[in-house]
Structure 1
């Protein structure tokens, strides 16, 4: 159920262990898909280009 609550996430992991409970794939918002997959390939996250 969508509650429109906002949550803070520490950040994605390149080894894809993003979820807290079990080996499920993370849910990625459509507007973030391209950035997420670029990150998995080694690109820095926006705003974290220098660490």
Structure 2
């Protein structure tokens, strides 16, 4: 895992997971739009507008 911090145990696919950032610098390399799963779009948009992340309401 030279350039990844997680991998899929079933496929051995390596990937980088980063927490969202309100300044939208979520991606690892350069400016680009992060891939957000459809189930998380509403929570991501709310986070960008100032809401806490689900599960992190108290810190």
TM score, norm. by length of structure 1:
0.81
Compared CA separation, residues 50 and 20, structure 1 to 2 (3 A): same
Question: In the TM superposition, what are the counterparts of 1:21-40 in structure 2 within 5 Å?
Answer: 21-40=29-48
RMSD value over aligned CA atoms?
A: 2.1
Instruction: Tell me, in whole angstroms, the C-alpha distance in 2 between the residues paired with 1:8 and 1:50.
Output: 26
Would the alpha carbon gap of residues 47 and 26 (structure 1) be closer, same or farther in structure 2, given more than 3 Å must change?
same
Structure holding more strand per residue: 2
Q: Which has the larger radius of gyration?
A: 2
The structure whose RCO (Cα within 8 Å, separation 6+) is larger is 1
* Residues 11-49 of structure 1, C-alpha deviations (whole Å, 9 max, x = no match): 100000000111001000001000000000000001100
Could you tell me which runs of 5 or more consecutive residues in structure 2 were left unpaired when the two chains were aligned: 1-10
Quick check: 1:14 aligned with 2:16? no
Q: TM-score, normalised by structure 2?
A: 0.71
